[in-house]
Amino acid sequence: MARRHDPERRQRIIDAAIGVVAARGIAGLSHRAVAAAADVPLGSTTYHFATLDDLLVAALEQVNAGWLADFGRWVDELDGDAPAADDVLRLVADTLAGDRTRVELEYELYLAALRHPRLRPLAADCLDEMARLLARRTGDLPTARALVAFADGLMLQHLLTGRPFEPDALRDGLTAALV
């Protein structure tokens, strides 16, 4: 029974799980698929993550942390001259123009929280943390929360429809809706 000592294995399994979700969706996540992707035996995935939920939790934790780190950096680079809504529109445009697969993966895991009780606190924390980070820029939390919601909705709308993103029209539309 050849065996290799592998201190990073747990982490590699998480990475493989994220890869499986990216490739086949949450529906395609299984201990066996992850084991194959990580090139470890089946028993190894069940040892480190006894249930599939454990794997999902670990995957979402890692994806959220990555996103929040990027988001925090982005917020800190803002100069605060333009209206905050314009900054957010630029963020959405950049995100949609970037690695589409990554965005879809993040949203799939994130939205799975609607159904999976153990994922919900993670998604909720991620939302709260985004608002907290964005509040550095807007100065207050309610404004930040409104903008986070707007960004989320825009992201979904364009992921689903594939329609070209038009920041100016959206900004003007939003302004018009408030009078």
Q: Which residues sit at the interface with DNA, rule CB under 7 A?
A: 1-7, 9-10, 28-33, 40-44, 46-48, 50-52
**Quick one: what does residue 29 bind among a second copy, DNA, none, with the CB cut-off 5 to 8 Å set by partner type?**
DNA
**Contact criterion met (CB below 8 Å) for 35 and 93:** no
Q: Residue 46 or 143: which CB sits closer to DNA? A: 46
Q: Phi, psi at residue 38, to the nearest 5°?
A: -90, -5
From DNA, a second copy, none, interface partner of 50 (C-beta below 5 to 8 A by class): DNA
* CB neighbour list of residue 120: distance below 8 Å, 6 or more residues apart: 113, 114
Q: CB under 5 to 8 A by kind: which of DNA, a second copy, none does 5 bind? A: DNA
Q: Which token pair is 102?
A: 């990554």
Nearer to a second copy, 8 or 79 (CB): 79
- Please, which of residues 43-82 interact with a second copy by CB under 8 A? none
CA distances from 43 to 19, 47, 93, 162 (A): 19, 6, 43, 41
Q: Please state, in angstroms and rounded to a whole number, the distance separating the CA atoms of residues 24 and 16.
A: 12
Q: Which does 136 bind (CB under 5 to 8 A by kind): DNA, a second copy, none?
A: none
Binders of a second copy in range 87-106 (CB under 8 A): 88, 104
Calpha distance 28→119 (Å, rounded): 17
The whole-angstrom separation of Cα 62 and Cα 56 is 10
Residues that bind a second copy (CB under 8 A): 25-27, 83-85, 88, 104, 107-108, 111, 113-115, 120, 123-124, 127-128, 138, 140, 142-154, 156-157, 159-162, 166, 169-179
